[in-house]
Each structure stands twice: as C-alpha cells, then as structure tokens.
Amino acid sequence: MAFERFMEISLYDPDGFFGGEVLRSEKAGDFLTSPEVSPLFGETLARYVEGIKQAIGDPFNIVEVAAGSGSLLRSLLAALPVDAIAVEASPAARTALAAIVPVREHLPETIRGVVIANELLDNLPTALAQRTPQGWRERWVGVDDDDLVFVDAPARPEVIAWLDDYAGPVPVGGWVEVQLAARAWVIDVLHRLEMGAVLLIDYGDTAENLLPRRSDGTLRTYRSHHLGPHPLDEPGETDITSDVNFTALMDLHPGATLSRQDDFLTDLGLRERLSEIRRQELEMARSGDESQRLRLRATKTEAETLLHPRGLGDFRVLVFEKLGTDATTGASYLS
Ligand SMILES: C[S@@+](CC[C@H](N)C(=O)[O-])C[C@H]1O[C@@H](n2cnc3c(N)ncnc32)[C@H](O)[C@@H]1O
C-alpha cells in the first residue's frame, strides 16, 4: 500500500496511535508540545487572536484543530474568553476536550474567527518518494516474510507534480515526504474561512532549508517523549511524523507569512513577560519567600523552553489572514 495509507491506518484507525482511548498529548504522554509545556503559550497567542477579533468584530470563533488534551484552549480562553470549538480526530482527545468546549470530528462548514493548529500538519499522512538516477520513485509498504518493508513503486502523477513544485534540488538517493494531505487540508480550511486568520505551528522549514536533511529524509517516530523505532516497526504503537515543508503551503494564499516561534512569541510580548518573571523571582529571593520564588522559577523555565532557539523556538508559525472586506485579497489590517 502507498505509505500515506499505511500512516493513516497506523495513526488513526481504532487500533492506531491516536485512534484508541489513550490520550497522547499530555505531560505524561508521548510528546511534549508547547501548550503542554506552559499556559504562557496560549496566553501569549491570545494577544494575536485578540488583534484579529478587533479587526473583524463579531461573530467570532476560535476553532482549534488537533486540540489534543485542551491545554492550549484552556489557557487561551482564560486570557480571552470568546466562543470556541475544538476539532479532533482522536476519540480520547475528544473526550478530554468535551469538558472545555464543544467538540467535533470535522471542520465546520464556515468559519469567522481564528483557526489554530499546533502540531497537526506533521501528523497528516504523507506519501514517500526517493530520487533515483532514473527519476522519482515512490516507497510503498510491502511484506517480506513477517516484516513490513519499503517496496519500490512508480511515482504517481500527483506525487511527481508536488515534488517538481516543492521538493527543490534533492540529490540522487534523497528521500522526501510528499505532503499532499497537508496541502489539501490547508486548501480546505482556507476555503471555509470567511474572515479571520489561520495560525499553523509546527516543526519544519522551507524546502531549501530542509535540503541538507534529504539524504535520509525527515520521517521518524516518537514514543514516550523519545525518538521511537523505524516507522514500519510496531504500527499503531508510535507517533509517525515528518518535518513540514512550509514552501508547499505558503503559495496557498496571498500575504502568507512564515516566522519562527521564538520571534512570533517575542513580537506578542513573551520576552517582556519573561523579564518581568525574572524580576519578580529576584524580589522573592530577596524577601525570602522560597515557595513563591520556586514557582516563579518554574514559570521562567517554561517561558525559556517556549523560546529556546534550538527547541520549540525553532518551530515555524505559518499565518494566513483574510481581514479585508474582500475576503480573497489577503490584505491585512494588522500589519
Ligand atoms: C501531535 S498531537 C498535537 C496535539 C496538540 N495540538 C498539542 O499541541 O499538544 C496531533 C493531534 O492531531 C490530531 N489530528 C490529526 N489529524 C487530524 C485532523 N484531520 N483533524 C483533527 N485532528 C487531527 C491527532 O488526533 C492528535 O491529537
């Protein structure tokens, strides 16, 4: 079968990694995401959402897609109490989210407000291709004895078209995750967005910056906060993921902007907040209030983690805005 089908089954079937009753995205789970690191993430993003709300007025909704445990919504809504819904593919996550906001399995027909998705795109099924001396070939999944193995297959026309447009000059032997589903998902959400913005946060980079990693590709698995086994081993037991090629998404709407998470959060005031926390921590040290000092120190570490230039700060933030009266122009009132 094509690799994207294997990935879809492994992650989203009832026996899949996200398909069962185990909630994966929480501190005790399999990966630690920005909203799980700190409520400062949602609190800081609330400032961006507030700007969009001021620009477009009511009706206004936050739609968080891939909302996981609900940590982001909880902190965001505490800072900015507005109508919100969550969209989740995972039944366990939907159960957790139902305590916070109305939950759906699929995107609403139309959206007026802000769509947020943190670490969704990297989990959408990808096709897999390798450049050979004869041109692009796909890597499908086959069986050898009892083992799942990669098998050679001709590249489908839509896969070749994506590679030609977005992979860049990948050397012979290079592996590329062909993110057709991510592109289709963004096209769909932009179509549903009447007015407002779409905020997509994930690991990845432009096609050009991903080129040095193409010799092995970026496909990998995670389990229990660590890199897991080969993607074909233990299907359903690991989180299969790859770095998002943002070049393949940026052309979908005029004025799309791509920035780093550390810069994006800095522009929204997180560094000022960090300075304030450091100042308060010193004050508590002087006053001898040890428990307050330790609490502030933990919060300071959380903020530093969100901004770490080689960690979460190195994530990318892709923003699409539709704010004008002509919702198709992409002209921003905020910039
Ligand atoms: C890595 S987790 C991120 C969870 C959360 N956003 C966070 O940052 O902690 C990815 C989530 O995306 C969800 N997901 C995957 N495809 C989806 C889709 N098409 N619609 C909604 N949720 C989806 C999965 O069920 C999973 O909960």
pLDDT tens digits, 48-75: 999 999 999 999 999 999 999 999 999 9
Position in ligand 1 atom list of the atom nearest CA 64: 6
Q: Give backbone dihedrals phi and psi of 245, rounded to 5 degrees, phi first.
A: -85, 100
Give the residue, by CA position, lying nearest to ligand 1 atom 4: 68
**What residues contact 268, with CB distance under 8 A and at least 6 apart?**
44, 45, 47, 48
How far is Cα 45 from Cα 48, in angstroms, rounded to an integer? Answer: 5
- Check pocket membership of 18 for ligand 1, CB cut-off 6 A: yes
- Check pocket membership of 119 for ligand 1, CB cut-off 6 A: yes
Instruction: Tell me the three-class secondary structure of the chain, residue by residue.
Output: CCHHHHHHHHHHCCCCCCCCCCCCCCCCCCCCCHHHHCHHHHHHHHHHHHHHHHHHCCCCEEEEECCCCCHHHHHHHHHCCCCEEEECCCHHHHHHHCCCCCEECCCCCCEEEEEEEECCHHHCCCEEEEEECCEEEEEEEEEECCEEEEEEEECCHHHHHHHHHHCCCCCCCCEEEECHHHHHHHHHHHHHEEEEEEEEEECEECHHHHHHHCCCCCCEEEECCEECCCCCCCCCCCEEECCEECHHHHCCCCCCEEEEHHHHHHHCCHHHHHHHHHHHHHHHHHHCCHHHHHHHHHHHHHHHHHHCCCCHHHCEEEEEEECCCCCCCCCCCCC
Q: How far is the CA of 124 from the centre of ligand 1 (A)?
A: 9
Return the percentage of the chain with pLDDT > 70, whole number.
Answer: 95
Mean pLDDT of 79-83: 98
Contact 218, 210 (CB under 8 A): yes
pLDDT attached to residue 292: 94
How far is Cα 302 from Cα 70, in angstroms, rounded to an integer? Answer: 18
pLDDT tens per residue across span 261-306: 999 999 999 999 999 999 999 999 999 899 999 999 999 999 999 9
The answer to whether residue 45 scores a pLDDT higher than 90 is yes
pTM for this one?
0.95
Of 196, 179, 293, 228, which Cα lies nearest the Cα of 24?
228
Q: How far is the CA of 121 from the centre of ligand 1 (A)?
A: 8
Position in ligand 1 atom list of the atom nearest CA 117: 6
Average pLDDT of every residue of the chain: 94
Position in ligand 1 atom list of the atom nearest CA 34: 8
Position in ligand 1 atom list of the atom nearest CA 24: 27
Q: How far is the CA of 287 from the centre of ligand 1 (A)?
A: 44
> Using 50, 70 and 90 to split pLDDT, how confident is the model at 29?
low
- Check pocket membership of 38 for ligand 1, CB cut-off 6 A: no
- Check pocket membership of 30 for ligand 1, CB cut-off 6 A: no
> Using 50, 70 and 90 to split pLDDT, how confident is the model at 226?
confident
Residue of 21, 45, 90 to mutate, ligand 1, most atoms within 8 A of C-beta:
90
Residue of 88, 97, 116, 223 to mutate, ligand 1, most atoms within 8 A of C-beta:
88
HSE-CB of 272 using CA atoms within 13 angstroms: 4
Position in ligand 1 atom list of the atom nearest CA 26: 9
Of 240, 244, 224, which Cα lies nearest the Cα of 118?
244
HSE-CB of 52 using CA atoms within 13 angstroms: 27
Residue of 25, 106, 111, 179 to mutate, ligand 1, most atoms within 8 A of C-beta:
25
Q: How far is the CA of 240 from the centre of ligand 1 (A)?
A: 12
Mean pLDDT of 302-330: 86
- Check pocket membership of 33 for ligand 1, CB cut-off 6 A: yes
- Check pocket membership of 202 for ligand 1, CB cut-off 6 A: no
